[in-house]
Amino acid sequence: MALTQARTMPGVMELLPLDQIALQQMLDTIRRNFERFGFLPVETPVMEFSDVLLTKQGGETERQVYFVQSTGALEQGGKPELALRFDLTVPLARYVAEQEHDLSFPFRRYQIQRVYRGERAQRGRFREFYQADIDVIGKDTLSLRYDAEIPAVIYSVFRDLAIGPFTIWLNNRKLMRGFFESLGIVDPQAQALGLREVDKLDKRGADHVRDTLMGEAFGLSAESAKKILDFVQIRSSSHADALAKLDALQTGNVTLSQGVSELRETLELIKAFGVPETHYAINLSIARGLDYYTGTVYETTLNEHPQIGSICSGGRYDNLAANYTKSQLPGVGISIGVTRLFWQLREAKLLGAAQSTVTALVTQMDEAQMPAYLELAHHLRSAGIATEVVMESGKLAKQFKYADRAGIRFVLVLGPDEISKGVVTVKDMRKQDQFEVPRADLVKTLRVELEQAQVMPA
Amino acid sequence: MALTQARTMPGVMELLPLDQIALQQMLDTIRRNFERFGFLPVETPVMEFSDVLLTKQGGETERQVYFVQSTGALEQGGKPELALRFDLTVPLARYVAEQEHDLSFPFRRYQIQRVYRGERAQRGRFREFYQADIDVIGKDTLSLRYDAEIPAVIYSVFRDLAIGPFTIWLNNRKLMRGFFESLGIVDPQAQALGLREVDKLDKRGADHVRDTLMGEAFGLSAESAKKILDFVQIRSSSHADALAKLDALQTGNVTLSQGVSELRETLELIKAFGVPETHYAINLSIARGLDYYTGTVYETTLNEHPQIGSICSGGRYDNLAANYTKSQLPGVGISIGVTRLFWQLREAKLLGAAQSTVTALVTQMDEAQMPAYLELAHHLRSAGIATEVVMESGKLAKQFKYADRAGIRFVLVLGPDEISKGVVTVKDMRKQDQFEVPRADLVKTLRVELEQAQVMPA
């Protein structure tokens, strides 16, 4: 029979088991923290009706959509009725609008699923990737306090992911809008263009942005351009510094004052949420998209790896689901692009050596003793210790090599000596240590070793 | 602006948060047990190249496939290059063939992902559903011992899912094949047709099957038809009974003897794996498809709900990936259709009242005390207790009602009295019990209550 070449499409991240375990641990850590803060799980179908999915989009997004057709629909021809989700925000809006009467508001949901984008194939760009989102959706109104809770969740997630020091950057779109107004840039479109330039600050540098602002399209004075550049370069170095820098911005503009006041209240509450001031700061250059966000905006960066860019971003928006319902649904939320983050951490060699989900391997010395091996495995599994038994006969050295390669920490040997003495020989592959333990103490002993490992990772 | 109606496609199961939590707990329980037995996680992309996915299929399967095209591909016309996976077995075969040189064999993988089938819309039929699969793949050979490990995993999963007593039914295709041979039905196609009839026994009844076997298509004698019906109605009532019934089958046919011997060894090892004999039995009617399985086959049914049919099925096959590689890759595995199972359990009212992932709600009596509420929440979250804080001001009665509706167990009140006394008032919504506890003992107290809940579910 002719063989078909086994291959996967470009732009997807398919992992070998040890890497999959590392990714899974990352997803589990994120989920645990989302749940710890009282967010509820939602999963939506991978497919949505095309007209529902593409309501407000168009342009770039529509060009990147994957359309879906069943065999029958394909044969009939015509436009595809279904498409794969390209983010978790549009499905959330559809979900909340559809289930509105069965949900309690403020509705706090987390969603960790894969999304799909028909991107051009390129290193580090994914056509299928995990997003991990939280959002709090209010009915008619939503307290600013939720804007402060979001950084508390971000802090908790990235502290537990243990990928190095990080900073949660905050800004407020009202503050930016008010500042532009105070410079006489009142037209929303002109503001949007100004914000888009400001967004390029990190990539293009201050000179480029200044030239553009003073160029034909904007025609700002040197003074205004300087004011904008000074403004967007404001960063705080502590909680008190953030408050002081906000105070210094007062100009009498109403929108700006409102932005300052919101950002100030948010900062005070972030502190009350127990987030250390080393981990948050204001950064008045952050704009995050042009028309979606209306208040607080967030980005998060790794202090020692700024080139990775923001690893967790989001903000406050006025109305989630205007395309689907007349209800006013303000919200605030963030998204972590987990696949991209995992890929970048691996590229930057920031991921530790993977360890298997399998904790113990019961070796096979003598086929005839198989019932004893199975009984030992049953004992360990009943105690919640993930255990594999060597089922195929083979040399012990080969079994040890397998455990080493597979990242299994404890290799258990039960030979005639051990059986007659009522003990088990344990080889700790990580510590390169070998010891005998009475059968009755085995579970306890392994648990102690495992708990130590959690406190002090090797 | 004109509204688009928020709606989901038919044939998908989208859940409200409390139901999603119940489904998630089911998936977590399955995953925990798969890991406990040393299976490693694999996830594959939702899309495969169409030619890879549809290699050996055709007919029914191909008619049910969802094809995928990016906007660009759609504009260019032509046949879709991509399609959504319709099971987890074909992607496993592709994965193992593609990664063959980086995997250790026997390769033990679990995979819990959604699959897609363009089924006709019908109650209880899903176009998107979770499958939870395990397989052990050998290189060239695979010990029969793995055939016995699979029921040990099945037992562990369904014991922990706690959905009532269940039976794992075993059969062996060699036994059936040998039995047909001993009746003179040697042609593989005739055997296949015979097996297909036997598969209808539960649905159509013995009389229908007998008539068909004696009818034009088969032309069996009354004696042969009776023998077949007697054979396929063999069930065991205990471990010893299973062995005795297998012994009674000896007819001198080589294939049958081999089947008897394999099934006997499998049964002995299942016992050694610690599976109670109340939970497994032989059932010689089980055929499971016509040409895929070659040895042991499994089905699992709920004793008190036979109408649900098999909730976990699978078996042994000779060669996983013949379409993609010349390597001989025998395997054994099972699949749980989780979405269908969840749906059926809910229909049969076998799912207990859902409880939220949120354990505690910190109420808001006085807005000015918000920092104290946040500090309390921080304290609980740091101890791993999932906690929500009421952020919007409102009547306390409304806050209690929210907790009740949301399935949150502990409602915490921190009023001026409590603050001055250094205590917290706890209302246990499940026990309808209210008590005061010193702030320093709160975490310990809640943990004790939670652990009791795990031992004795309400």
Can you say how many angstroms the Cα of residue A35 is from the centroid of all Cα atoms in its chain?
14
Q: Which residues of B touch A106 (CB under 8 A)?
A: 391-392
- Which tens digits make up the pLDDT trace of A187-227? 888 888 887 887 787 788 888 888 888 988 788 899 988 99
Q: Do B358 and A8 touch (CB under 8 A)?
A: no
Please report the residues numbered 16 through 75 in chain A whose beta carbons come closer than 8 angstroms to any beta carbon of chain B: 16-17, 20-21, 24, 35-38, 40-49, 51-52, 55, 62-72, 74
Helix (H) or strand (E) holding B61: helix B60-63
Give mean pLDDT, residues B108-127. Answer: 92
DSSP letters along A195-209, please? HHHHHTHHHH-HHHH
Interchain contact A119–B (C-beta under 8 A): no
pTM of structure: 0.95
Report the Cα–Cα distance between both ends of chain B, in Å, rounded: 50
- Which tens digits make up the pLDDT trace of A275-284? 999 999 999 9
User: Mean pLDDT across chain A, nearest whole number?
Assistant: 92
Residue B168's beta-bridge partner residues? B280, B300
**Phi, then psi, of B444 in degrees rounded to 5:** -60, -45
Q: Do A16 and B102 touch (CB under 8 A)?
A: yes
Q: Does residue B454 carry a pLDDT above 70?
A: no
A66-88 burial code (b ≥16 CB/10 A, e <16) = bbbbbbebbeeeeebebbbbbbb
Interchain contact A211–B (C-beta under 8 A): no
Nearest CA in chain A to B93: A6
Helix A188-199 / helix A173-182 crossing angle, nearest 10 deg: 110
Q: Does residue B290 carry a pLDDT above 80?
A: no
- Which tens digits make up the pLDDT trace of A321-330? 999 999 999 9
Q: Do A6 and B66 touch (CB under 8 A)?
A: no
Q: What is the CATH number of domain B360-455?
A: 3.40.50.800
Q: Do B4 and A51 touch (CB under 8 A)?
A: yes
Domains A165-303 and A360-455 belong to one CATH topology: no
Query: Helix or strand or coil: residue A227?
Result: helix
Average the pLDDT over each of A152-166, B225-239, B347-361, B418-432 and give the range with the smallest value: B347-361
Superfamily per CATH, domain A12-162+309-354: Bira Bifunctional Protein; Domain 2 (3.30.930.10)
Interchain contact B411–A (C-beta under 8 A): no
Are B411 and B390 spatial neighbours (Cβ–Cβ below 8 Å)? no
How many CB atoms lie under 10 A from the CB of residue A350? 15
Are B404 and B378 spatial neighbours (Cβ–Cβ below 8 Å)? no
Interchain contact A276–B (C-beta under 8 A): no
Give mean pLDDT, residues B70-96. Answer: 92
Residue B115's beta-bridge partner residues? B129
Q: Do B106 and A391 touch (CB under 8 A)?
A: yes
- Which tens digits make up the pLDDT trace of A285-296? 898 776 789 999
* The pair of three-digit structure tokens given for residue B84, joined into one six-digit string: 């959504």
What's the confidence (pLDDT) of residue A187? 86
Lookup result for tokens 């980086």: B102
Residue A235's beta-bridge partner residues? A283
Are B404 and B429 spatial neighbours (Cβ–Cβ below 8 Å)? yes
CA dist., res. A117 & res. A129, Å (int): 9
CA dist., res. B449 & res. A82, Å (int): 47
Q: What is the CATH number of domain A165-303?
A: 3.30.930.10
Q: Which residues of A touch B65 (CB under 8 A)?
A: 70-71
What's the confidence (pLDDT) of residue B453? 64
Give mean pLDDT, residues B147-165. Answer: 97
Interchain contact A325–B (C-beta under 8 A): yes
Q: Do A45 and B14 touch (CB under 8 A)?
A: yes
Q: How far is B30 from chain A (nearest CA, A)?
A: 13
Alpha-carbon separation of residue A149 from A59, A273, A332 (angstroms)? 34, 7, 10
Q: Which residues of A touch B381 (CB under 8 A)?
A: 36-37, 156
Query: Helix or strand or coil: residue B358?
Result: coil
Q: Which of A352, A24, A357 is nearest to A163 (CA)?
A: A352
Query: In this predicted model, which residue has the larger pLDDT, A208 or B116?
Result: B116
Interchain contact B10–A (C-beta under 8 A): no
Q: Which residues of B touch A377 (CB under 8 A)?
A: 273
Nearest CA in chain A to B160: A382
CATH 3.60.20.10 is held by the domain B13-161+311-354: no
Compare CB distances from B3 to A15, A128, A323 and report the shortest one's residue.
Answer: A323
Write the ipTM: 0.94
Are B121 and B11 spatial neighbours (Cβ–Cβ below 8 Å)? yes
Interchain contact B458–A (C-beta under 8 A): no
**Phi, then psi, of B353 in degrees rounded to 5:** -60, 130
Residues 6 or more apart whose CB falls under 8 angstroms from that of B427 comprise: B400, B410, B411, B412, B413, B433, B434
B410-413: strand order across its sheet:
B387-389, B360-362, B410-413, B423-428, B433-438
What's the confidence (pLDDT) of residue A291? 73
Helix (H) or strand (E) holding A446: helix A442-455
Average the pLDDT over each of A129-138, B130-139, B180-189, B362-371 and give the range with the smallest value: B180-189
Q: Where are the domains of chain A?
A: 12-162+309-354, 165-303, 360-455
DSSP letters along A117-137, please? --PPP-TT--SEEEEEEEEEE
